[in-house]
Structure 1
Amino acid sequence: MKWLLQFFTWWHGQTLNTKFNTWRTGELVGEDEFGNRYFRTKGGRLDPALGFERRWVIYPHISEASNVPPGWYGWLHHTVKEPPTRETYKPRDWQLPHKPNMTGTPEAYRPPGSTLSTGVRPPATGDYKAWTPGT
């Protein structure tokens, strides 16, 4: 079954073509806490069409770009030269750990007063006047 998913879909991880291309032309640079694996062209070889090395990520499950932490995002987009595995960066005390975008899931943020949030909605305060044409 997994073989069929790799053959026909890209959102369940890598396709067979991506797997073959990664095996042939890529080298593993590192892995993050979510299980995403990051690759670049072997030896940092420059792509003649682009003028810089190709970098890509292989997701372990569903392909969701918001699962990429900020350090790896910067490396993938050539904002920083060194991958997070070669840095000695220590997060500050006030920095929260990375969370992927939860929109569309049960863990999504529901502001107070939302019809989808749990609990009781606050009562209307009566300070709203409906607009009527001609006034």
Structure 2
Amino acid sequence: MAILNSVLRAITWWNGQTYGTQLFTARHGEKVGEDVQGNVYYHNADDSRRWVIYNGEIEGSRVPPDWSGWLQRTVQAPPAEKPLIHRAWEKPHQENLTASPALAYRPAGSMRQKAPLERSDYEAWTPE
């Protein structure tokens, strides 16, 4: 299994950081901070590049708004140095769970419902 993970890591980006990213981060990356999910944020010496190493699944919606603003250069100071002010009415950040099994929409009568719906308005056709 370890060999398969090594091969996948060498040729795919969605199974964690690639060896190229790991090497680039080790040579040029300066750690800027970490978010509550364990994602680690880096930039190079002249701040011309900024990037994130995800802790777990690589999904852009897992980056909190504070860090997303820093990555996209909306704010210059990273949230680890100068945290953004959050209002009392703001909801905490939650990643996009649209297609996840927990929140996927299942309309009435869908085969993906936990228990099949009993229907009295439909009678299946059977050949004679």
- Distance in 2 separating the partners of 1:56 and 1:88: 18
Q: Partner residue of 1:81?
A: 76
1:106 CA displacement:
1.7
SS at match of 1:103: coil
- How do residues 94-133 of structure 1 correspond to structure 2 at under 5 angstroms? 94-108=89-103, 110=105, 114-115=107-108
SS at match of 1:86: coil
- Specify every segment of 5 or more residues in structure 2 that has no aligned partner in the other structure, as ranges: 118-128
- The alignment's TM-score, normalised by the length of structure 1, stands at 0.71
Q: Partner residue of 1:58?
A: 53
Flag as ranges the 4+ runs of structure 1 deviating above 4 A: 116-120
Is the counterpart of residue 23 in structure 1 residue 26 in structure 2?
yes
Cα deviation code 1:9-67 (max 9, x no counterpart): 2112100010000100110000101111100002xx15xxxxxx110011122210000
Q: Partner residue of 2:86?
A: 91
Alpha-carbon RMSD across the aligned residues, in angstroms, is 2.2
1:108 CA displacement:
2.2
1:89 CA displacement:
3.2
Amino acid at match of 1:102: L
8 Å Cα contact 2:66-2:84 kept in structure 1: no
- Distance in 2 separating the partners of 1:102 and 1:76: 22
- The alignment's TM-score, normalised by the length of structure 2, stands at 0.75
Cα deviation code 1:97-125 (max 9, x no counterpart): 110000211222649xx3367898xxxxx
- Specify every segment of 5 or more residues in structure 1 that has no aligned partner in the other structure, as ranges: 47-52, 121-135
SS at match of 2:58: coil
Aligned residues, how many?
A: 110
Identity level (%) = 41
